Structure 1
Amino acid sequence: MGALISMEMISVALRTLRHRKAAFAGAFVALFCAAALVCACGMLLDTGLRGSVAPERYAGAPVIVTGDQFVHQTVRKSEEKTKTKAKQLSEQAWVPASLADRLRRVPGVARVVTEVSFPAYVAGRRFQGHGWESAALTPYTLRTGRAPKAEGEVVVEAASGLSVGARVPVWTAAGSRTYQVTGVTAQDLPSQDTLFFATAEARRMAGRAGQVGAIGVFPGVDVSGVLKGALAYTGDERGAAEFLGAEKARVKLISLGGALGGTALLVAILVVVGTFALSIQQRQREIALLRAVAATPRQVRGMLGGEALLVGVVAGTLGSAAGVGLGFWLRSRFVALGAMPENLRLVVSPFPMLAALGAAVLAAWAAAHLSARRAVRIRPVEALGEAELPAARVPVGRLVAGLLCAAGGVVLTLVLSALTTEAASSPLTLLTALVWTVAVSLLGPVIARTATALLGVPLRAARTAGYLAGAGLRATSKRLASVVTPLSLMVAMTCTILFVQTTMGHAAQEQATAGTRAEHVLGPHVPSGTAAAVRGLPGVEAVTEVLRTSVRVGLDKYGAQAVTADGLGRTMDLDVVAGSLDRLDDGSVAVSRTAAERLGVSAGAKLRLTLGDGTPAELRVVAIYSRGLGFGDLTLSHTLVAGHVDDPLGTVLVAAPSVTRADLERAAPGVGVLDRAQAVEAGAANAEVNYVAMGLIIAFTAIAVVNTIAMSTSSRSRELALLRLVGTTRRQVLRMLSLETLVAVGIAVALGTGIALVTLAAFSTGMTGSVVPHIPPLTYLAVIAAAAALALLATALPARLVLSRRPVELIGARD
C-alpha cells in the first residue's frame, strides 16, 4: 500500500479533499461508524478473553477451594497427540465435607471455614442463604444483635432495613417458615443479598448431606496435594469461584463479540466499498481529465489511495474513540438485561482501538482500490466518454464475481438448512444473508437495468415527474444500483435478525401451548410442601413439579426439564413418537427427536450424561418425543435432578378443570397462579440481548442508507439546475426524485425480502423442521415503512438544500 502512495500523491489528495468535502463526507461517516462498531465489539471480545471479577463474599479468605466447575473430555487427534477440552457446568459443583478435615491437616493451615449456599426467597425477592460459620470468608461482623444459634433465627444485612426482633417469612427448598432476626451485619455486598442462618439449619435447608459448596483456607498456603476433584483459587480467581455466572458471561461475550465484530466488519466493507464506488462514479469526469493530461494509472491510483488513507485515518481515529463509549453503553445494557454481572469489569486496552483504526484504514484503501480499477485502467478517450454517458456494459469480472457469490449463497443456504443447533446456525444465518447481499451488490447494475425496464413503462405513462423519473433511472442504472445496495442490505439484515428470533420463539411457544394440558401453573419458585398441599385439594386430578436445568452429553450442552412422573400425561403432552413416558424414573431419560438424531440414540439405548453440577449419570432412553423446542431436549426424573441444581424451587403444573384460581391461591398463599396461556407466555425466551447487539448492525445499515442516498442526491446539482432552467418547477423536480427513490425502495424491498426469506426458510428448516418462518405482518410492514421513510428523508433534505440555490450558481459550482 505504501509503495502506491507517495508523498506527492498524499499532497495532491490533501488538496483534493479540501475542495471536495461533500464527496468524502459520506465515506467518512461510513468509516467512522465502522470503526466505532469494530472497537466496541473488540472491547466485548477482550473482556471475554481477559476480564476478571473481584471477589466479594470470599474477599477475606486467602484460598478458596470449590468443586471443578468444568466437564472435561480428552480428544485423540492422532496416535501421539491428544487434547483435553473443557466446558463449564450450569450449576455449582459441590465437594465432600470430609475435604475440610484433610485441609486442616495440611502443614501451615491455621483455620478452615466451610460454606453452604442455597436460594432463599423473601416476598418474591431472592437472597443467598448461608450458615453463619461462613461469615468469616468475607468477613462479616455484627453491627447489632448476635449470631443465629437456633433453627428459627436469622441474621440480615444492614441494607435490608430490618432490625433485631423482626420476623421474616422465608421460602427455601426445605419449605416455608418465619424466622426471627437476631442480628444485623455491619457490611453489605454490592451485588448479592445475603441471609445467615444457624449452621445446622443452613445445611438442612441446602439439602446436600455430607457436602459443602466452598471451603476457605487460612492462611494462603499450597493445598493442591490433598485436592481430588476440587480446585483451589487465590487472588482474583476467587471471584470466578464466587460468581459462576461471570464465567458464563465471559464465554457469551467471546462468542457475541466475535460474531458481532465479524458481521460488523463484513457489513462495513460492503458499505464502504459502495460509498467509495459512488464517490468515484461522481468524479469520473475529473479522473478522465487527469488521464487525458497524461496522468498515469499509477498516479491516479496513488491519489485515490492517498485520499482513502487520509479519510480512513481520521475517521478510524475518531470512530475508535467513540467505540470506547459505545462499548461501555453495550455493557450497561447487558448488565441491565442480566446477561452480564455488574462486577465483571470491562477491559479497556489499546488493542480494540488499534484494531478498529487498522480495519478502517484497510477498508478505506481496499474500497478505493477496488472502486477505481476500471476508472484508472481504461484509455483517456473512453474515460471521457463514460463520464458523459456511463457504459451500459457491466464488466465481465464483476458478473463472474456476482455469480460466484450467488453460488456461495446457495451452498451456505443448504448447509444452514441442515443445522439443528442454535449455536451453530446463528452465526451462519447472518453470514448467509451477507453473502446473498454481496451477490446482489455485484449484480446490482444488471438488476437495476432490468427493473427500470419493467417499471419504466408505467412511469413514462405518468405526468411530467413520472416521465422524468423514468428517463433518469433508465440513463443512470449504475447510480440506482448504488442506492439499492444499502437499502436491500438494511431490509435483509433487519428482517433476518428480527425474524430469526420470532421464528424460534413462535415454534417454541406453539409446542408449549400444544403440549401444556394443565389448567393452572404455580410459580415461578414454589416451596416443596406446596405441591403436596395442592394434591390434597378436591377436584385436583394431577400435579407435576417441574425444574429447568441443562446437562452435558460429552461437551455438548442440552436444555433439560425434570418432572415428577405421576400423572404426567394429564398435565403435559410431549408428543411421544417412540417408547413411553410411563417408565420414566431416576434411571431413565426421555429425549427429543432432534437431540436423539444428533446423539444417535433410540428408545432402549443407554445415554451417558453429566448433570448440571458435574455428577455423571448413565440413563436408559425410555421415550423419544417431538416437542423439544417447547419443553427442552431432555426430560429427566424430578427426584434425580432436584439434588443437583442450585435452585430446586421450580414450577408446578396443576390439572384441575373444576378448581378456580382463588381456590389455589388459598391453598398456596403467596405463590403466583397462572392459567395455561399466561404460563406459556411467561416462559417465552427473552431475546433482548440479541436485539441490543444486532441492533447496532441495523443502525449501521440505516446510517449507510441515509448516507448513500444523500450523496447520490447532492451530486446531481447540475442535473437539477438544468431541469429548472428548461422550465421544470421545483415541485416537479422533488416529485421526480421521490418517485426515483420509491422505485429504489421497491427494488430493495423485493431483493432484501427475498434474501431474508431464503435465509430464514433454511434456518427454520433446520431448527424447527418447518420451511415456513414466522414473520409477524405488522413488524414486517414497520421495517418496510422505516426503510421508505429513511430513503425519502435522505432524498428530500439534500434536494431541498440544492434547489434553494439559484440554477446558475449550481451549474457554475464545482461540487
Structure 2
Amino acid sequence: MLDLAWQTVKARTSGFIGAFVAILCGTALVAACGILMESGFRGGVPTQRYAAADVVVTGDRTVRPPGGDVLAFEHAAEQPAIPSALVAKIAQVPGVTAAVPERTFPAVVVGPDGQALVDKPSLGHNWESAVLAPFTLKAGSEPRTNDEVVLDSGLAEQAGVAPGDQVRIMTRSAPVSYRVSGVVEGRGNRQATLFFSAATAADLAGRSGQLSAIGVLTSGDVADRIEDVLAADHVTVSTGADRSAAEFDDVSQTKAILAILAGSFGGYAVLVAIFVVASTLALTVEQRRREFALLRAVGATPRQVRKLIGVETTVVSVIAGVIGSLLGIAVGHGLRDAFANIGVVPADFELSISPLPLVAALLIGIGAARLAAWSASRRPSSINPVEALGEAAVQREDVGRIRLTIGYVLMAIGAVATTLPLFIRGQLGAAMSVMATLVLIIGLSLAGPRVIGGAVRLIAPALSRFSGVSGYLASANVLKNSRRLAAAVTPLMLAIGFAVVNYYSQTTFTAAVRQETTRSITADHVITGVAGVPAEVADAVRRMPGVTATSLVRTQVITASKTGDTVEVNRGPANGLDATAGGAVDLDVVTGDLKDLTTGTVALSDAHARWEDKKVGDTVEFWFADGQPAKLRVIATYDHDLAFGDHVLSAADARAHTTAGMDSAVLVKSGDATALRELTSRYPGLAVTGSVAVQDRSDERTQFLLNLVAVGVILGYVAISVSNTLVMSTAARRREFALLRLVGTGRRQVVRMMRAEAVVTVGLAAALGSLVAALPLTLLAIGFTGVPLPAGGVWVYLGVLAGAALLGVVSIAVSTRLSLRAKPIDTIGSRE
C-alpha cells in the first residue's frame, strides 16, 4: 500500500500541493508556538548582576492555590521579599563558600540639569552584593559611611561626576546629596547600578528584616542541597540561565507571558491548522471521487480505500511536517522580533530551541492530517460499488445529517455564548466574544453547503439576468456545485469574521475602559512621575488648605475560584486608594463606604462580590501583587470595575507589596496648580497634569498589539489556505473550461463567468463573515459601552473586506488564466 500511495503522490503531485502547503504552514506555526513556550521556561538573557553567583535565592513568584492541578498557577507581578534569616541557613549548607544578602530598591541620580537620569532602570544595592557580578572598583573606594555612594561607570559618566564629587540621588523621598566614593565597572548595560553602605541600603530599602535576594558562591554543585534546606520557605532557587529571571523583572514577566501566550496562541493555531488541513484534504478527496469510484467498482473494499487515502496523507504530511518543523524556527524568531517591537519581550531575550517542540509539531501535523484524511475518506469508501461511478459524475446533493446536526448545534452554542459580555465584563468578556465567533464560524462551516446553497438560490436568478451568457453559466455552476462554492467561501468567511471580531472586540473594550475611567477620575489635578511618586508627596498635598488628595497605586491581585473539581487562577488589575479618595474618585459605590478603606480592608466590584457571594463585612482571600496571601475585610462594593478592576485596596497595602514602594500617581481635588508645581519641583521627574494623564493604557495597548500580532499570524496562515483552496478548486475545472470552449464558448466568456463566480464567492464570504461578527460585537458593545455600535474606525473593517476580496478575486483569476493557456482539444483528452 505504501508503494501504491507513493506512486499516486508522484503521479498526482499537483493534486497534493494544496494539502502539502496547508500541512507545512500549520506545522511551522505550531512549532513556533512550541519554541516560544519552551523559551518561557528555559529562555532568557545573560545574567549581569549575578554573573559570579552560582545560585540565586529569591522569593517564590509562583502562586499555586490549594487543591489545584499542575496547571493551576499564576505568576506574581512583583518580586516578593525573603527573610534575612535565610542567609545564615544557607551559609551552613555544605559546599557553600559565601551567602551574600542583597537589598534592591529604586535609586535615581539627578543630573547636572536637575533632571532625573531614567533612560533605563536605576537600582540601588548594598555594597556587599557587588561581589556577585562581580563589580570591580575602577576608581576610588567602597562606601564606608552612610553619606557615600558608588556609581557604575556609565552612570557616573552620564551624571558627570567622579570620586569625591557630590551627587543628588532620589529614592522614595526628595533628592539627598551623597559623596561619590568610587566608580565601578560591571557587566552589561541593561540597568544603572548604585551601591550604598549596608546601613544606608537597609534604611532606603525600607523592609526591616527582609532581603530582595541572596547570592550564593559555592565550591561545587549544591543547588539541590539548598533547595532541600529551603523547601518550606517558599523561595525559588535559580541557577544557570534562570538567574536572569531573578535579576531582571522584565525577563521574569516575559517568561511567564511567553508560556501562557504560547499555550493560548498554540491552541488557536492547532485548531485553525486542523480546520484548514481538513478543508484542504476534503477538497482534494472530492476532486478524486471518480478515481475512488473506479476503485470501488473493480473490487476495492472500503477499508482499502480509506487506507490508501490515509497512507497518501501520511506520506505528504511527513514530508511537509519535517520541512514545516524546521521552518518553525524562523517563524519563532519572527514572532519573538514582533513581540519585542511592541514591548512584550525584551529585545535581547534569547529563544531556547530544542528538538522537543519540533518533534511535537511534526506529530501534531501528522495527527491532524490523518484525522482530516479519515473524515474525508468516509464518504468515498462507503458508497455502493454499483452506484459509485454514477455518483462520481455529479456532486452529492446534500451533506450528512450528523454533520448538519453538529453544525446547527455549534451555531446555537455560539449564538448563546455571544450574550456572555452582557453579564461578564472586563477582558474575559471580550475574549468570550472571540471564542463565540469561532464556534459560530465552525458551526457555519459544517452547515455551509446547506446555508450557501440556500443563499445561491436567491442570488443565481439575478446573476443570470444581468450578466448575459457568462452570468447564465456562472449561475448554473454555483447552483449545481454549491458544495464547491462552500469550500471556497468558508476560509474567506473565517478570515473576515475572525479578523473583524478580534480587532473590534479589543477597541470596544479599550473604549469602555477609557469611557469609565473618564467618569471615575474626578480629580482636578494629577501628579505623576517618570519612575513613580514618593508616598510622602500625597501627605504633603493633603496638608494644603482646602485640598482633597489620594494616592493611586496601580497593582495586581491573583484570585482563585473553584468550579467542581477544577481550580481556576487569574491575575487581574487592582488599585490602591486612600480613605480620602471620595473627593477625587467616583467608583459608583453600591454598598458600604470608601471612608472605611484602611489597612486590612478591601472594596470589591459589585459583579465580583456577587460572583464570590461576598457582602460588606465578609472576609475575602486572594494574593497580593508579590504573591503574598491576603485575607481582608470587605468594606464596600462598586460598579466601576472597568476603570478600577475588581479589587480596590488601601494605598498602604498596595504600596507595601510592590517592589518600588511608591505611588503611581496622586489625584488632587481643588488646590492651586501653582502651589502643586512648587511642591513637585522639589522632586525631579514629577509633573502636575490633567486627569487624562492617569489613564495608564500601556498594559491594555500591549495586550491589544499582542493580540493583533497573534491574529495576524493566524490570518496569514488562513490567507494561504484561502488562496490554496481557490487555486485548487479552479484548476480542477480545466476539462470543464475546455468543454465549454469546444462547444462554442469564447475565452473571454469563460473568464467573465469565473469573474462572476469570484464576485459571488467574495460577496457571500463578506456577507456571512460580517453577519458572524456583527452579533457578538453588537452584544459586546451594548454590554460594555451601552451602544450597539462597536468602537474603532470603519477603515479596518473595509480594509479586511478589501483584502479578502483582492485575495479571492486574484486567486481565481490567476488560476483561471493558467487553466486556459492550453488548447481545449489537448486539455479535454488529458487525464484527470
The normalised TM-score by structure 1 is: 0.88
Equivalent residue, structure 1, for 2:657: 644
Give the counterpart letter for 2:135 in structure 1: Y
Equivalent residue, structure 1, for 2:352: 347
Of 119, 124, 136, the residue aligned with 1:141 is 136
- Does residue 565 in structure 1 map to residue 579 in structure 2? yes
Question: Following TM superposition, by how much is the alpha carbon of 1:509 offset from its aligned partner in structure 2, in angstroms?
Answer: 1.6
Give unpaired runs (5+ residues) of structure 2: 109-115, 561-568
Equivalent residue, structure 2, for 1:174: 173
- Compared with structure 1, are the counterparts of its residues 685 and 232 closer, same or farther at alpha carbon in structure 2 (3 Å cutoff)? closer
Could you report, residue by residue, the CA deviation over 1:695-728 in whole angstroms, capped at 9, with x for unpaired residues?
Answer: 2212111111111111112222222334444554
Could you report, residue by residue, the CA deviation over 1:296-341 in whole angstroms, capped at 9, with x for unpaired residues?
Answer: 4444333323321221111111111101221222233334444345
In terms of mean alpha carbon deviation, does 768-777 or 471-480 score higher? 768-777
- Does residue 392 in structure 1 map to residue 392 in structure 2? no
- Compared with structure 1, are the counterparts of its residues 108 and 21 closer, same or farther at alpha carbon in structure 2 (3 Å cutoff)? closer
Q: Secondary structure at the match of 2:175?
A: strand
Equivalent residue, structure 1, for 2:264: 259
For the Cα contact (< 8 Å) 2:426–2:642, is it kept in 1? no
Q: Secondary structure at the match of 1:74?
A: coil
- Compared with structure 1, are the counterparts of its residues 601 and 227 closer, same or farther at alpha carbon in structure 2 (3 Å cutoff)? same
For the Cα contact (< 8 Å) 2:430–2:506, is it kept in 1? no
Equivalent residue, structure 2, for 1:789: 806
Of 804, 812, 816, the residue aligned with 1:799 is 816
Of 407, 410, 414, the residue aligned with 1:402 is 407
- Does residue 598 in structure 1 map to residue 611 in structure 2? yes
Please provide the CA RMSD for this pair.
Answer: 3.6
Question: Following TM superposition, by how much is the alpha carbon of 1:116 offset from its aligned partner in structure 2, in angstroms?
Answer: 1.0
The whole-number CA distance in structure 1 between the counterparts of 2:296 and 2:94 is 85
In terms of mean alpha carbon deviation, does 556-565 or 782-791 score higher? 556-565
Equivalent residue, structure 1, for 2:550: 544
The whole-number CA distance in structure 1 between the counterparts of 2:179 and 2:734 is 80
Give the counterpart letter for 2:717 in structure 1: F
For the Cα contact (< 8 Å) 2:603–2:637, is it kept in 1? yes
- Compared with structure 1, are the counterparts of its residues 771 and 349 closer, same or farther at alpha carbon in structure 2 (3 Å cutoff)? farther
The whole-number CA distance in structure 1 between the counterparts of 2:37 and 2:135 is 35
Question: Following TM superposition, by how much is the alpha carbon of 1:35 offset from its aligned partner in structure 2, in angstroms?
Answer: 0.7
For the Cα contact (< 8 Å) 2:49–2:187, is it kept in 1? no
1:223-262 to structure 2, matched below 5 A, reads: 229=233, 231=235, 233=237, 235-236=239-240, 238-243=243-248, 245-262=250-267
Q: Secondary structure at the match of 2:25?
A: helix
- Does residue 95 in structure 1 map to residue 87 in structure 2? no
- Does residue 58 in structure 1 map to residue 58 in structure 2? no
Of 426, 438, 441, the residue aligned with 1:437 is 441
For the Cα contact (< 8 Å) 1:533–1:668, is it kept in 2? no
- Does residue 753 in structure 1 map to residue 759 in structure 2? no
Could you report, residue by residue, the CA deviation over 1:200-253 in whole angstroms, capped at 9, with x for unpaired residues?
Answer: 333333222333222334546756658974537363354454345545444433
Of 162, 165, 169, the residue aligned with 1:164 is 162
- Compared with structure 1, are the counterparts of its residues 25 and 613 closer, same or farther at alpha carbon in structure 2 (3 Å cutoff)? closer
Give the counterpart letter for 1:747 in structure 2: L
* Seq. identity, %: 38
The whole-number CA distance in structure 2 between the counterparts of 1:112 and 1:402 is 63
- Compared with structure 1, are the counterparts of its residues 167 and 27 closer, same or farther at alpha carbon in structure 2 (3 Å cutoff)? farther
- Compared with structure 1, are the counterparts of its residues 100 and 753 closer, same or farther at alpha carbon in structure 2 (3 Å cutoff)? same
Question: Following TM superposition, by how much is the alpha carbon of 1:384 offset from its aligned partner in structure 2, in angstroms?
Answer: 2.8
Equivalent residue, structure 1, for 2:22: 30
- Compared with structure 1, are the counterparts of its residues 811 and 660 closer, same or farther at alpha carbon in structure 2 (3 Å cutoff)? farther
Q: Secondary structure at the match of 1:372?
A: helix
The whole-number CA distance in structure 2 between the counterparts of 1:278 and 1:479 is 8
Could you report, residue by residue, the CA deviation over 1:639-687 in whole angstroms, capped at 9, with x for unpaired residues?
Answer: 3332321123322223458748995786765434543345437456122
Could you report, residue by residue, the CA deviation over 1:122-172 in whole angstroms, capped at 9, with x for unpaired residues?
Answer: 433321221222111222111223223455543333344446257655432
The whole-number CA distance in structure 2 between the counterparts of 1:662 and 1:55 is 42
- Compared with structure 1, are the counterparts of its residues 229 and 466 closer, same or farther at alpha carbon in structure 2 (3 Å cutoff)? same
Question: Following TM superposition, by how much is the alpha carbon of 1:479 offset from its aligned partner in structure 2, in angstroms?
Answer: 0.7
Q: Secondary structure at the match of 1:450?
A: helix
Equivalent residue, structure 1, for 2:188: 189
For the Cα contact (< 8 Å) 1:56–1:189, is it kept in 2? yes
Could you report, residue by residue, the CA deviation over 1:459-502 in whole angstroms, capped at 9, with x for unpaired residues?
Answer: 12202233332222112111101111111111222223223322
For the Cα contact (< 8 Å) 2:126–2:196, is it kept in 1? yes
The whole-number CA distance in structure 2 between the counterparts of 1:445 and 1:105 is 74
Give the counterpart letter for 2:555 in structure 1: T
Give aligned pairs, total.
799
Q: Secondary structure at the match of 2:466?
A: coil
- Compared with structure 1, are the counterparts of its residues 268 and 257 closer, same or farther at alpha carbon in structure 2 (3 Å cutoff)? same
Q: Secondary structure at the match of 2:107?
A: strand
Give the counterpart letter for 1:603 in structure 2: V
For the Cα contact (< 8 Å) 1:191–1:343, is it kept in 2? no
Of 754, 757, 760, the residue aligned with 1:737 is 754
For the Cα contact (< 8 Å) 2:433–2:780, is it kept in 1? yes
1:291-690 to structure 2, matched below 5 A, reads: 291-340=296-345, 345-380=350-385, 382-409=387-414, 422=427, 426=431, 431-464=435-468, 465-524=470-529, 525-528=531-534, 530-531=537-538, 541-553=547-559, 556-566=570-580, 568-649=581-662, 650-656=664-670, 659=673, 670-680=685-695, 682=697, 685-686=700-701, 687=703, 688-690=705-707
The whole-number CA distance in structure 2 between the counterparts of 1:444 and 1:227 is 57
Q: Secondary structure at the match of 1:514?
A: helix
- Compared with structure 1, are the counterparts of its residues 201 and 463 closer, same or farther at alpha carbon in structure 2 (3 Å cutoff)? same
For the Cα contact (< 8 Å) 1:173–1:206, is it kept in 2? no
Q: Secondary structure at the match of 1:603?
A: coil
- Does residue 48 in structure 1 map to residue 40 in structure 2? yes
Equivalent residue, structure 2, for 1:3: none
- Does residue 721 in structure 1 map to residue 738 in structure 2? yes
Equivalent residue, structure 2, for 1:694: 711
Could you report, residue by residue, the CA deviation over 1:4-53 in whole angstroms, capped at 9, with x for unpaired residues?
Answer: xx2xxx33333333332222111111111111111111222333355577
The whole-number CA distance in structure 2 between the counterparts of 1:262 and 1:17 is 30
- Compared with structure 1, are the counterparts of its residues 698 and 725 closer, same or farther at alpha carbon in structure 2 (3 Å cutoff)? same
In terms of mean alpha carbon deviation, does 793-802 or 601-610 score higher? 601-610
The whole-number CA distance in structure 1 between the counterparts of 2:168 and 2:730 is 68
Question: Following TM superposition, by how much is the alpha carbon of 1:533 offset from its aligned partner in structure 2, in angstroms?
Answer: 6.3
- Compared with structure 1, are the counterparts of its residues 32 and 148 closer, same or farther at alpha carbon in structure 2 (3 Å cutoff)? same
In terms of mean alpha carbon deviation, does 47-56 or 447-456 score higher? 47-56
In terms of mean alpha carbon deviation, does 764-773 or 326-335 score higher? 764-773
Give the counterpart letter for 1:800 in structure 2: R
Equivalent residue, structure 1, for 2:149: 154
Question: Following TM superposition, by how much is the alpha carbon of 1:105 offset from its aligned partner in structure 2, in angstroms?
Answer: 7.1
- Compared with structure 1, are the counterparts of its residues 376 and 523 closer, same or farther at alpha carbon in structure 2 (3 Å cutoff)? same
Equivalent residue, structure 1, for 2:565: none
The whole-number CA distance in structure 2 between the counterparts of 1:298 and 1:65 is 60
Q: Secondary structure at the match of 2:439?
A: helix
The whole-number CA distance in structure 2 between the counterparts of 1:701 and 1:571 is 49
Give unpaired runs (5+ residues) of structure 1: 1-5, 78-82
- Compared with structure 1, are the counterparts of its residues 634 and 283 closer, same or farther at alpha carbon in structure 2 (3 Å cutoff)? same
For the Cα contact (< 8 Å) 1:562–1:636, is it kept in 2? yes
Question: Following TM superposition, by how much is the alpha carbon of 1:542 offset from its aligned partner in structure 2, in angstroms?
Answer: 3.4
The whole-number CA distance in structure 2 between the counterparts of 1:353 and 1:708 is 26
Question: Following TM superposition, by how much is the alpha carbon of 1:358 offset from its aligned partner in structure 2, in angstroms?
Answer: 1.9
